[in-house]
Chain A
Amino acid sequence: MAKQRVIRMYNHEVFFQLTKRNFLVFTRNKMRMFFTLMVPIIILIIYILFLRSLELSSIREAINSIEGGKEIPDSTLLVLMDSWFLSGNVALCSISISLQTNNLIINDKENGINRDFASAPIHKTVVTFSYMFFNFLITLILSFAFVLVTFIFLACMNEFYLTALDVLIIFGVLAFIVLNASAFTTLICSFIDTDATLASVIAIVSACLGFLIGSFMPLCLMPKVMQDIVFFIPGTHATALMRFAYLQTPLAKFGSDFDASQLAILTNQVGYNLIFYTRDMLAPVELAVDPTLQGGTAIIPAIQSAVVGGSTLIFGGLNFFSRKNTVRTNIK
């Protein structure tokens, strides 16, 4: 019994020390940290410079053209639209930052540093999960820095309606989805052995992911086939969940300015709910108002949380089974 406790204590200590080591190795390279955070900021700048006015006109048309709808001022639409885009970008950056941070795992494979772990009496499981936990911490810190950037942006635009509770919820959701991203990217990186491969994966992911998880574009604008596919990506649900955290208070605040179908669209289609339907689309408005019309259901935040949480557990478990790949070395 006593011996078991010593071993358990020892594993905790090694877990903590390895996490510390990963953290130090990563953060000593300031350039890497800087570039990791650049991606979401560049996307934000592109949004401000090019996309914002374009998206405003299309959403204005969609909302104001609804039969019997009310005339909504641009200022209100902008609050919702900016929050929608920013929250999607936060969710996206949680995955892209997480993937880039795992550069450390690949470096350890390429430099053969993990042979040092293999030659010491430490378990592969401990090494694997210390990588994952380190990834969680760095990604959380960097994503949170980006969340602050979004707050500053909203404040500058006079669009900051979030309460203290909302900020707390945003932080909670962020931790929740970052954990999901860390478990996912660590698993991916267990199969990647070289920097070159990782760079290609990062390039591909950066180009596609924003569309695949609905960060840049509402899902309802995608072809039905694509919608069906992206429903199985946990990131889609993570994005929706983050949108809920950013949008629920502003939506409640301006709710009385809209009529029922406008509100349904702003909640279900360009809001935070996702609609999963089986039969072909009738009309977007009707679907938003009553998702069951087309044999579908609205995926509400509770379901999104379940998907994100469940997939985190699955990825975590798969990491355990893939631990040999995570710590394998490139060097003879």
Chain B
Amino acid sequence: MSKKIVKYAVEVKNLVKSYGHVKAVNDISFYVEKGSLFAFLGVNGAGKSTTINIISTILKKDAGKVYVEGLDLDKDAQKIKNEIGIVFQNSVLDQHLTVKDNLAIRATFYALSKEQRKENIANIVKLLDLDELMKRRISQLSGGQKRRVDIARAMVHSPKLLILDEPTTGLDPKTRQAVWRLIDKIRRETGMTVFLTTHYLEEAEQAGYVVVIDRGQIIANGTPIQLKNKYTNDYIIAYGKINPAFEKALKLGKEDFHYDDERKGYVIFHNKRSTLKQKIVKYTRYINDFEVLKGTMDDAFINITGHSHEEENHG
């Protein structure tokens, strides 16, 4: 048998999974490139965890194909388990055991020699800076520290693919950034493929590739820049009071605009007719103070899903 060159860390084709009437995952297909940082973006209940649990071999799919590192989930589930490390949405650490016990015991789940296990743990402890925490019980750690140990636990067997289900949910903004930097560092230093899910748009913005999932279906995908270009427009805000003369001029110029009450200014979108710079020059006598703004992932998300991210979170 010739050795096939595996290009994708994960390949999912027409994956389907239902719970009764709920189609949690409804015919989705995507690839995760090896060594990349891949983000699965979606609101609560979109089907992120379901997809991840299927890829991690702990949930049965209804239909479709899944390949991990070129291995077929239907035939080689046992081998796939050796290639992936998963950080679950809820921690699976033993709260009353020390960090050291947690890591040491989990390392034995994979058929590694004693020396290999020791070496792996030593590397992880260094990479994730856990030295001082090793003798502490999990229950005595802060949320951010726990998450670091969660990640360490998933890496004890040096998997090729690290899957993280909402690694930053429930952490404060500063810790979230720290965890994010850590994930980035892990990927750079180990060359692992990182597959994560998130609610946070600003996090997806830092990924190499983003797949947006909603109600079990993929509704957009691409690099963050591609998504922004496709789904958002850059725009100008011309600050000032409502000005009928300005509005008349804008209408005459066939501009796409509206007055934003909150920001107290006219929002004028980029269009094919002219660049933002040309617009500023054209309407310069109406404009005193202005700002040029790039479309954000938030805007992209609203445009993609047709509903605001915030609304969905609260509704």
Binding site for B on A (CB under 8 A): 6-7, 10, 13-14, 17-18, 20-21, 24-25, 28-29, 111-113, 115-122, 329, 331-332
Closest B residue to A114 by beta carbon equals B92
Contact B94 A113 (CB under 8 A): yes
Give A111 to B105 CA distance when docked, in angstroms: 18
Contact A112 B49 (CB under 8 A): no
In the complex, what's the smallest C-beta–C-beta distance from A25 to chain B, in angstroms? 5
Instruction: Indicate whether B86 reaches chain A with its CB closer than 8 angstroms.
Output: yes
Among B79, B96, B111: residue with most chain A CB under 10 A: B111
A121 in contact with B96 given A20-B105, A112-B88, A112-B90 (CB within 8 Å): no
Contact A111 B92 (CB under 8 A): yes
| Interchain Cβ contacts under 8 Å between A and B, 28 examples | A14-B109, A17-B105, A17-B109, A20-B105, A21-B97, A21-B101, A21-B105, A28-B96, A28-B137, A112-B88, A113-B92, A115-B92, A116-B88, A116-B92, A116-B153, A117-B109, A118-B57, A119-B56, A119-B58, A119-B86, A120-B81, A120-B110, A121-B78, A121-B109, A122-B109, A331-B90, A332-B49, A332-B50
- With A112-B92, A116-B153 already in contact, 11 other A-B pairs whose C-beta atoms are closer than 8 Å: A6-B111, A14-B108, A17-B105, A18-B105, A24-B96, A25-B97, A113-B92, A115-B88, A116-B92, A119-B81, A120-B81
Give A116 to B49 CA distance when docked, in angstroms: 15
Give A7 to B111 CA distance when docked, in angstroms: 8
Among A29, A111, A121: residue with most chain B CB under 10 A: A121
Closest B residue to A13 by beta carbon equals B108
Contact B108 A111 (CB under 8 A): no
Instruction: Indicate whether B151 reaches chain A with its CB closer than 8 angstroms.
Output: no
Chain B residues bordering chain A, tally (CB within 8 A) = 27
Give A119 to B80 CA distance when docked, in angstroms: 9
Contact A21 B94 (CB under 8 A): yes
A118 in contact with B108 given A24-B101, A29-B96 (CB within 8 Å): no
Instruction: Indicate whether B82 reaches chain A with its CB closer than 8 angstroms.
Output: yes
Instruction: Indicate whether B106 reaches chain A with its CB closer than 8 angstroms.
Output: yes
Q: B75-104, CB under 8 A of A: which get 1 and which 0?
A: 000110110101010101110110001000
Give A51 to B195 CA distance when docked, in angstroms: 65
Contact A121 B58 (CB under 8 A): no
Give A38 to B96 CA distance when docked, in angstroms: 22
Contact B96 A10 (CB under 8 A): no
Q: How many A-B residue pairs have CB under 8 A?
A: 66
Contact A118 B58 (CB under 8 A): yes
Which residues in A have their C-beta under 8 angstroms from that of B56? 119
Q: Which of B57, B90, B94 contacts A119 (CB 8 A)?
A: B57
**Shortest beta-carbon contacts, A-B, top 8:** A120-B109, A28-B96, A116-B92, A121-B81, A17-B108, A118-B58, A10-B111, A21-B105
In the complex, what's the smallest C-beta–C-beta distance from B256 to chain A, in angstroms? 43
In the complex, what's the smallest C-beta–C-beta distance from A194 to chain B, in angstroms? 16
List which B23-77 residues lie within 8 A (CB) of chain A: 49-50, 56-58
Which residues in A have their C-beta under 8 angstroms from that of B137? 28
Which residues in A have their C-beta under 8 angstroms from that of B82? 121
Which residues in B have their C-beta under 8 angstroms from that of A115? 58, 88, 92
Closest B residue to A113 by beta carbon equals B92
Which residues in A have their C-beta under 8 angstroms from that of B50? 332
Give A111 to B101 CA distance when docked, in angstroms: 18
Contact A116 B106 (CB under 8 A): yes
Among B49, B78, B106, B108: residue with most chain A CB under 10 A: B108
Closest A residue to B88 by beta carbon equals A115
In the complex, what's the smallest C-beta–C-beta distance from A130 to chain B, in angstroms? 11
Among A24, A28, A118, A119: residue with most chain B CB under 10 A: A119
Closest A residue to B57 by beta carbon equals A119
In the complex, what's the smallest C-beta–C-beta distance from B139 to chain A, in angstroms? 10
In the complex, what's the smallest C-beta–C-beta distance from A145 to chain B, in angstroms? 21
In the complex, what's the smallest C-beta–C-beta distance from A221 to chain B, in angstroms? 45
Closest A residue to B96 by beta carbon equals A28
Which residues in A have their C-beta under 8 angstroms from that of B79? 121
Closest B residue to A16 by beta carbon equals B108
Contact B90 A111 (CB under 8 A): yes
Give A117 to B58 CA distance when docked, in angstroms: 9
Contact B84 A119 (CB under 8 A): yes
In the complex, what's the smallest C-beta–C-beta distance from B196 to chain A, in angstroms? 16
